[in-house]
Amino acid sequence: MKSVFKGDIIHTPTKDKFEIYENSYLIVEDGHVVKITDKLENLYKCYEFYDYSGKIIIPGFVDVHLHAPQYPNRGLGMDKELIPWLNTYTFPEESKYSDLEYSRRVFEEFINALWAEGTTRCSVYSTIFLESTKLLMDMFIASGLGALVGKVNMDRNSAPALIEDSYQSIIETEEFILEFKDVSDLVKPIITPRFIPTCTDMLLTELGKLAIKYNIPVQSHLNENTSEVEWVRELYPESKNYASVYDRFNLFGQTKTIMAHCVYNTDEETELMAKNGVYVAHCPHSNFNLSSGLSPIRKYLNQGVKVGLGSDISGGHTISMPQVMVGAMQTSKMVWLQSNKELAPLTLSEVFFLATKGGGSFFGNVGSFEEGYECDLLVIDVDNLAYLKTLTPEEKLQKFIYEGSRENIIDRFVKGKKVYKPFLINTQLIPNC
């Protein structure tokens, strides 16, 4: 498939500035970017032509941390900190996913919402339930969106319905990996120990082995909340810190790894992340909502750590990556003030980079329009927000991020292919259950 996209093209090959190509052409062959050009050579005139003149064309958004089964809870129960919040709201909801019909109905809404908001790739937690997780995988494959999907592992310290038998957890994880590792180039498994307090040493040991054996990426949570950090310290008093517990079990960069939150990293932990190439999934709204704190992303960037952005549904209340970008800007401004103006606020091009190429690099060559990149793109029309203003392409992007909504996204492509609304459901007609 060979295509040309015409419009005002914006991306961030580096975080420090937007590269903007007004009224230009993006050439795509077999899902990969060939180049951006302001003159369409004859060669490309027979390519499929998408005319988005006057619209902006940006890379699709990458959400590196969210929980599919928590989607029905978004916006509810924002009155607690992490651990009581998990026990009061989250674990009871996650217990429902032994029911495949319930799972299907939630996942339809969930994947439709990702599509609507322009999230073309995500790294997502399912539940402990294998069949439900396989269903989520199948539904992502059917959707045309890209995803890393994890069967959650936890075999201690949780709601009774969510505590797995350790052996079964390991066996099912391997079954899940084998069944899906080579099925789709857009949707793949990721190993997902929930976090240290809910996993025994035996489980962590075996998950580390599976990660290495099949070269599967890893996602988990790190240093989100002071009580959680304290809990890990009590569980592993001999460990230097929280990060080193993951590291000990080969779950910290031995394969590609991403850790959500990182509000309370010690310098030593951050250095280990930089050294091992472990990513931070920065979830600003969740860090606000659960009273976790202000994650010092500038510091991590300065220390050479890779960073992406996560909605963290449903610690975060919104699945919109533009709204997550706003939260990341706001967080960084408060960090700047409180660091005695030493840690500079993130700029808009920087948070845009984090939401595209920054998180995208966890998936491969994703999130940018550089040559050879997989071409995920969104077409944005902000005419309804630009009344009485003639906006530059960069100002259109500012408006979209701060004030836009899913209505401003008029088309979505993943790896060069147009993606339509995945599931045709009419929520109005289905009674609550």
- Contact 349/12 with Cβ under 8 angstroms? yes
Check: CB of residue 264 under 8 Å from CB of residue 226. Answer: yes
Handedness of CA 395, 398, 404, 407 (dihedral sign): positive
- Residue 191: how many CB atoms within 10 A of its CB? 24
In the complex, least distance from residue 106 CB atom to its own copies, rounded to whole angstroms? 6
The single residue among 37, 77, 235, 361 that binds its own copies, judged by CB under 8 A, is: 77
Return the half-sphere exposure (C-beta side, CA atoms, 13 A cut-off) of residue 277: 9
> Per-residue string for binding with its own copies, 353-392, x by CB under 8 A?
------------------------------xxxxxxxx--
Residue from the set 27, 348, 355, 378 that interacts with its own copies by CB under 8 A: 348
| CA-CA-CA-CA torsion sign (107, 368, 218, 274) | negative
C-alpha separations of 373 from 121, 192, 308 in Å: 14, 27, 17
Q: Which range in 19-27, 31-39, 345-353, 371-379 contacts its own copies by CB under 8 A? A: 345-353
CB of 331 to its own copies, least distance (A): 8
Question: Could you say whether residue 118 binds its own copies (CB under 8 A)?
Answer: no
92 binds its own copies, rule: CB under 8 A = no
Interface with its own copies includes 428 (CB under 8 A)? yes
Starting from the edge strand earliest in sequence, which strands make up the sheet with 146-150, in order? 61-67, 119-125, 146-150, 187-189
Q: Which of 401, 409, 414, 419 binds its own copies (CB under 8 A)?
A: 401
Q: Which of 239, 254, 303, 347 contacts its own copies by CB under 8 A?
A: 347
Choose which of 2, 37, 98, 102 interacts with its own copies (CB under 8 A). 102
Q: Does 403 bind its own copies (CB under 8 A)?
A: yes
Binding residues among 47-66 for its own copies as defined by CB under 8 A = none
| Interface characters, 138-177, with its own copies (x: CB under 8 A) | ----------------------------------------
Omega of the bond leading into 291 within 30 degrees of 0 (cis):
no
Q: Which residue(s) pair with 150 in the sheet?
A: 125
Span of 104-112, 144-152, 270-278, 411-419 interacting with its own copies by CB under 8 A: 104-112
The nearest distance, CB 233 to its own copies, in angstroms, is 19
Residue 104 binds its own copies (CB under 8 A): no
Among 37, 266, 291, 361, binds its own copies (CB under 8 A): 291
Instruction: Kindly indicate which of the ranges 22-30, 207-215, 285-293, 304-312 contains the residues binding its own copies, using the contact rule CB under 8 A.
Output: 285-293
Q: How far is the CB of 71 from its own copies (least distance, A)?
A: 9
Q: Can residue 336 be called a binding residue for its own copies (CB under 8 A)?
A: yes
Q: How far is the CB of 373 from its own copies (least distance, A)?
A: 27
Q: Which of 340, 272, 319, 370 is nearest to 72 (CA)?
A: 319
Mask 408-427, x = binds its own copies (CB under 8 A)?
-------------------x
116 binds its own copies (CB under 8 A): no
- In contact, 65 and 307? CB cutoff 8 Å: no
Amino acid at 149: V
CB of 60 to its own copies, least distance (A): 21
Residues near its own copies (CB under 8 A), total: 50
**Quick check: 49 and 4 in contact, CB under 8 A?**
yes
The number of angstroms, rounded, from the C-alpha of 173 to the middle of its chain's C-alpha atoms is 21
Q: How far is CA 184 from CA 119, 130, 156, 269, 378, in A?
A: 18, 18, 32, 34, 22
Q: Locate the DSSP E strands across 227-271.
A: 257-261
Inter-CA distances, 53 with 20, 380, 381, Å? 14, 11, 10
Closest CA to 228 of 257, 195, 202: 195
Calpha distance 100→80 (Å, rounded): 29
Report how far residue 401's alpha carbon sits from residue 54's, in angstroms, rounded to the nearest whole number.
17
Residue numbers of the site for its own copies (CB under 8 A)?
72, 74-79, 102, 105-106, 109, 285, 288-289, 291, 293-294, 317-318, 326, 329-330, 333-334, 336-338, 345, 347-348, 383-390, 395, 398-399, 401-403, 405, 427-428, 430, 432-433
